[in-house]
Structure 1
Amino acid sequence: MTWLVRHDPIPAGRRFRDRLSRPGIFRLPGAHNGQAALQARAAGFEGLYLSGAAMSASMGLPDLGLITIDDVCFFIRQVAGASGLPVLVDADTGYGEALNAMVTVRRFEEAGAAAIHLEDQILPKKCGHLSDKRLALPQDMAAKVAAAVRARRDLVVIARTDALANEGLDAAIARARLYLEAGADAIFPEALTDIDLMRRFAQALPGVPLLANMTEFGRTPQLTGAELQDLGYKMVIWPVSSLRVANQAQERLYAALRDHDTTAPMLGHMQTRAELYETLDYFGFEGLDASISRSLLPPGSGGGD
């Protein structure tokens, strides 16, 4: 069923909240564009994550808070619109202070976001797994969280703290409690560096929905969703994985084209035309307009007609 005729009467934020209330960890793979979102949906995932790092890299930019609200809304419309799934969106620092965070919430929710996370860094912000991050004052971040909660309709607001590296575990937990008092629905403790720290954080906040980040090549050990659930976590993201895989494949393609003057050596690594059309529900779109004749695929398209 194409997104043109798929209508879910329940707002995305409520669907995200409903899934969060059910047993089991909520697995949210990153999807950096609409095609990735469709593939993740086809694989059976119930929600998606939209990473600031993945959006920035897709635009050829580093993850230093350089993208704008409008840039992110463009990605939200792709990923949420194409998949119909509830999407958690990286809102960085909220693109400013309290009023800016309120604007961000309204714009993102209107674009189709189900949830956001706000972080307690100050600009220029960094990836949570890099060094020398600069933190906002706890009370300033709490005010931003409260403003975001005030502006939302159904959106789930998750507060991220990057305080572990600069201030230690106890301070990170204290910040999390302050953000919960300000109205945050869940907490994202970023860049916890070992399993014991992850367990201690969860034990300090019993009953609080916690988000774990399983980014590759970072500071946090790689665990399965089941292992994280056993530690007390309720959500897990793999933020940049789809982009990393796609980028490496594209690098191999361009090298092969340069070296062989043809894409022929890469055909076995490509999604076929038939597979692409199936993912996109191409013929479903054609079927919505009686004036469009059903297309026939060229011979050798990898299946289909």
Structure 2
Amino acid sequence: MNNHGLTHARRLRTLCQQPETLQAPGIYDGLSARLVEAAGFEAAFVSGACIAFARFGRPDMGLVTATEVVNTISVIRERTAMPLIVDMDTGFGNALNVQRTVRTFELAGASALQMEDQVMPKRCGHMAGKQVIAQAEMVGKIKAALDARYDDSTMIIARTDALGVNGFDDALQRAEAYLQAGADALFIEAPQSLEQMQIIGDHFGERVPLVHNLVEGGKSPVDGSYPLQALGYKIALYPAALLHLFVPQAQQLLQHIVHTGSTSDWQGSPLVNLNYLNELLEAPAMLADSERYKH
């Protein structure tokens, strides 16, 4: 890997050592990456769910392939130097599959890789009907992921979905086993109460960075990064916030076009124009660069 590839992984580790909880909005393409970076965020989450939603119009049910995620990471990494926390679902198979997934995702530009202990094909962590693999199998997959890294700075985030399947005690036990296996961060998905989150924070918060999903319509007992900081969590993911805003706005605008045939009298949220998008995407700077190469 080149030095640029190493820098963003090390940067993410530094951000996780700061007292503030790191806010990481979900992204899924170059435009969403640019929006997040332009807003001043220091990291982003390449959401498997949003790749499924936005690129393929499918639910988050394990339908996206590893190659499709690699292609998405590559597009985003070419557009931004921000640290990227990448959702790699179950690792796309057994321990050997996990190793290839880690290598290809890391080469594409991932700074951290989040792997969960669901049965493949997985489903959204806030859906009913999840199943989890044996704890020992997940421990092996974590060790395989750690062995496969090109750079030790690349974080392996171990996520357990066991709370909604086997209960809170099993989720805690698994998290401890995953930490002992060498995971760089822990993610206990979908705690059901503030008390559970306090226990998680008390047990793990001083030992390892904790990750939490802030999903609109999900099961989180908290709704922001500031309460997470008080609980000892280090990374707040907003996996689908951009799409959760875009969808209703898009539906309203499309209905307006159906009925009026125009966008000129649209009374909803202001529409940006082509000039605005070109400025956002830094077209003037690119045109200036092109002039430099003419001589």
Task: Give the TM-score taking structure 2 as reference length.
Answer: 0.92
Q: 1:222 to 1:259 in 2, by over 3 A?
A: farther
Alignment deviations for residues 264-300 of structure 1 (CA, whole Å, 9 cap, x no partner): 233862122222111100011111112799xxxxxxx
Give distance in 2, aligned partners of 1:54 and 1:233. 23
Instruction: Tell me which of 120, 123, 141 is aligned to 2:120.
Output: 123
Alignment of 1:124-163 (within 5 A): 124-154=121-151, 155-163=154-162
Instruction: Say if 1:169 and 1:201, in contact at 8 Å, map to a contact too.
Output: no
What is residue 11 of structure 1 aligned with on the other side?
Answer: 7
Alignment pair present for 1:276 and 2:272:
no
Shift of 1:9: 6.9
Instruction: Say if 1:80 and 1:86, in contact at 8 Å, map to a contact too.
Output: no
Q: Secondary structure at the match of 1:49?
A: strand
Greater CA drift, 243-252 or 118-127: 243-252
Instruction: Tell me which of 44, 49, 65 is aligned to 1:48.
Output: 44
Give distance in 2, aligned partners of 1:278 and 1:42. 11
What is residue 197 of structure 2 aligned with on the other side?
Answer: 198
Instruction: Say if 1:88 and 1:115, in contact at 8 Å, map to a contact too.
Output: yes
Shift of 1:8: 4.2
The residue identity in structure 2 corresponding to 1:212 is H
Alignment of 1:1-305 (within 5 A): 8=4, 10-58=6-54, 59-154=56-151, 155-205=154-204, 206-266=206-266, 269-290=270-291
Greater CA drift, 89-98 or 242-251: 242-251
Alignment deviations for residues 70-99 of structure 1 (CA, whole Å, 9 cap, x no partner): 111122123232222001011000000101
Give distance in 1, aligned partners of 2:49 and 2:286. 32
What is residue 301 of structure 1 aligned with on the other side?
Answer: none
Q: Gaps spanning 5+ residues in structure 1: where?
A: 1-6, 294-305
The residue identity in structure 2 corresponding to 1:52 is G
Task: Report the identity percentage.
Answer: 36
Runs of 4+ with >6 A deviation: none
Number of residue-to-residue matches in the alignment: 287
Q: 1:17 to 1:250 in 2, by over 3 A?
A: same
Shift of 1:23: 2.4
Instruction: Say if 2:222 and 2:228, in contact at 8 Å, map to a contact too.
Output: no
The residue identity in structure 2 corresponding to 1:94 is G
Q: Secondary structure at the match of 2:124?
A: coil
Greater CA drift, 119-128 or 267-276: 267-276
Alignment deviations for residues 47-92 of structure 1 (CA, whole Å, 9 cap, x no partner): 0011111000111112111111111112212323222200101100
Give distance in 2, aligned partners of 1:109 and 1:9. 9
Q: Secondary structure at the match of 2:212?
A: strand
Q: Secondary structure at the match of 1:118?
A: strand
Give distance in 1, aligned partners of 2:42 and 2:158. 22
Instruction: Say if 1:159 and 1:184, in contact at 8 Å, map to a contact too.
Output: yes
Alignment deviations for residues 114-143 of structure 1 (CA, whole Å, 9 cap, x no partner): 111100000221111111211100000110
Q: 1:20 to 1:198 in 2, by over 3 A?
A: same
Alignment RMSD: 1.8
The residue identity in structure 1 corresponding to 2:183 is A
